[in-house]
Amino acid sequence: MLCGTRIIDRAWTVLAALLLLLACGRTPDLRPVGEGTDRTAPVFPDYRDVTVPCNIAPLNFYYTDPEASRFVTTFTSAGTTVKVRGRDVVWKKKAWARILSTGADVEVLSEYKTPSGPMSFRWTVHVSADAIDPYLTYRLIEPGFEVWDDLEIIERNLDSFDAKPISDWRNTKNKCMNCHIHAQGRGDLSMFYLRGEGGGAILNRGGTLRKLTLRDSSMISPTVYGEIHPKGRFGVFSTNIIIPAMHSYGNRRMEVFDTASDLCVADFDGNRMMTFPDFARLDTFETFPVFSADGQYVFYCTAPAKSLPAEIEHIGYSLVRIPFDAETGTLVNQVDTIWSATERGLSVCHPKASPDGRWLLFTVADYGTFPINHRECDLRMLDLRTGEVLTLEEVNADKSDTYHSWASDSKWFVFASKRGDGMFGKPWFSHVSEDGTVTKPFLLPQRDPHFYDSMTRSFNVPDLGNASVGFDAAEIGRVWREVPAEVFD
């Protein structure tokens, strides 16, 4: 009788345990993992031996080996030890703050059991005393083909997991919106485009929002790529006739090219667009203009016009520099070639000057101006003091690495990389020291370590800001609906 009662009790216990397990949900299936997949490292995100800023949000991660069990992770930093059990390593806020507060590197010991025996390895999270700008903006977009639906631009707080849309489809009737950029990492000086009816360039200067029609009758298109001058009065832009096309073979998928492109300058104070015959020639393409840190020059990419798409593989963009008259907003036709595509055999995109004037970060690819699907697309960093070009092996991966931006103190940069699955761009951060040493980049941490497993949108044009932009999607919705676009002529 007693025995029977015990059996019933045990049965209830087992049943309760089973119910509890069911209630907790299934353990995620982590396969496929290993060589040839998008999960090659034993931890994801791979935070082994990365350098992180002292103000970064907790680095949550998980172990990828689907056969392993009994995970124990021990973090030690200057006498402080934190032990976490389980496959998913999710930090408690206080524990993370405690370990970062030591100011020292974090030594990590990973231990777990695998079918072939126990496994353990040590790694380090290097903690830099250089804090990173606390805000990151990016556009979330499916890697579509020049079409969109439900777009939003997010401002993410980097020292926590807080994020808010600063412009979204809900408030703008599903309008297309292009990426948000800060001027030299400043939260109080930034812009982005809302396209289509009721849209315009949204300019944020000191928290005042304006909607601008940056086009005059002589321009081949509205402004496309560009940047705000450090003093905030002018913006330099390209105007581009952009054509999307498909690759028939391989993994480059879509190509986008210009059949015409010119440079222009917008005077935000005088509501004037300035175009220049020297930079509106039919036989030359000009695109991706940005200012030097001191605002005295404009860097941009240029190529001799070709018949496209027939000659797409032969179009190489060189990186050049011209003087900019910051009093009048004039582009001066004194072209100084910094990187010759003909000599180097690689095409340049997306130059970005560090705010301290020391570095110029840009991407190189085999050809063209749309490197996001070019696996060979890598970052390069030019030392503007010496002219030396650094190849950034620590940073670049076997997939597209591009769309970078600088922190306001020039000590960190962020870039979008398609490393791993090759389809979805994600933000990666790297530290730059005085001598140009760059560190192994780390992926933007998320509260849920499995966040990226199911994410099917790209983080497009991640851009760092030293302060919040101060507006939100509802405010942009109001500007879109109620504020008439200012005319530029």
Partner 1 sequence: MKVRRILWIVLAVAALAAGASQVLFLTRYPYFRKYAAQNGISLREARKVWGHPNEVSETAMGMAVEASLENWQAVAALAKEDRRSEVGTYYYNLSNAMYGQLADKLLDYYQPFERGLFLPVGEHSSPFVIGCASDVWFALGDMSLAERDAMLGMLFSPAHTGSRYLRRLAETNLVKGDYEAASKYLRILLNSPRDRKWAQVRLPDAWNPGYRMLIDEKRAKLPRFDLVHGMDQVQYTLRVLLNSNPSNKMALDYLLCYDLLTKDLDAFVADYVPSLTHSKLYEEAMLIFLAAKGGMAPDNFAHYQISQETLSRFNQFVTIYKRDNGSGKNLTEEFGKTYWYYFYYAVRNENH
Name the amino acid, one letter, at 58: P
For residue 148, state whether it binds partner 1 (rule: CB under 8 A).
yes
* Residue 242 lies near partner 1 (rule: CB under 8 A): no
Short-list 284, 313, 311, 282, CA closest to 300 = 284
In angstroms, give the least distance from the CB of 221 to partner 1. Answer: 18
Indicate the SS3 state at residue 472.
coil
Residue 47 beta carbon to partner 1: minimum distance, rounded to whole angstroms: 20
DSSP alpha helices (H): ranges in 102-211? Answer: none
Phi, psi (rounded to 5 degrees) for 343 = -75, -40
Place of tokens 């991640």: 462
Among positions 149-178, residues that touch partner 1 (CB under 8 A) are 149-150
Q: Angle at CA 131, nearest 5°, toward 128 and 134?
A: 140
Nearest approach, Cβ of residue 151 and partner 1 (Å):
11
Residue 443 sits in the site that holds partner 1 (CB under 8 A): no
Which range in 15-23, 25-33, 53-61, 276-284 contacts partner 1 by CB under 8 A? 25-33
Is residue 196 a contact point for partner 1 (CB under 8 A)? no
CB closer to partner 1 out of 281 and 457: 457
Tell which one of 278, 366, 376, 453 touches partner 1 (CB under 8 A). 453
User: What does the alpha-carbon distance between residue 201 and residue 230 come to, in Å, rounded to a whole number?
Assistant: 18
Considering just the CA atoms, what is the radius of gyration of the chain in Å? 25
| Count of Cβ atoms closer than 10 Å to residue 398 Cβ | 12
First to last CA, the chain: 96
Under rule CB under 8 A, which residues in 302-341 are in contact with partner 1? 309, 312
Q: Is 63 in contact with 30 (CB distance < 8 Å)?
A: no
Counting contacts by CB under 8 A, is residue 345 touching partner 1? no
| 182, amino acid identity | H
Name which of 168 and 227 has its Cβ closer to partner 1. 168
Q: Is the CB of 178 or the CB of 354 nearer to partner 1?
A: 178
Consecutive H or E run containing 131: none
Residue 418 CB, nearest distance to partner 1 (Å)?
Answer: 10
Separation between Cα atoms, residue 220 and residue 260, nearest integer Å: 8
Task: Examine residue 252 and tell whether it contacts partner 1 (CB under 8 A).
Answer: yes
CB of 313 to partner 1, least distance (A): 8
Are 350 and 362 in contact, with CB atoms under 8 Å apart?
yes
Main-chain dihedrals φ then ψ at residue 341, nearest 5 degrees: -65, -35
Residue 103 interacting with partner 1 (CB under 8 A): no
Could you tell me which residues are beta bridge partners of residue 465? Answer: 135
With CB under 8 A, what is the number of residues at the site for partner 1?
43
**Under the criterion CB under 8 A, does residue 253 sit at the interface with partner 1?**
yes
User: Which member of 37, 328, 337, 391 binds partner 1 (CB under 8 A)?
Assistant: 37
| Binding window for partner 1 (CB under 8 A); candidates: 218-226, 252-260, 296-304, 458-466 | 252-260
Nearest to partner 1 of 131, 243 (CB atom):
243
What does the binding site for partner 1 look like in residue numbers (CB under 8 A)? 26, 28-32, 36-39, 142-150, 243-255, 309, 312, 420-424, 453-454, 456-457
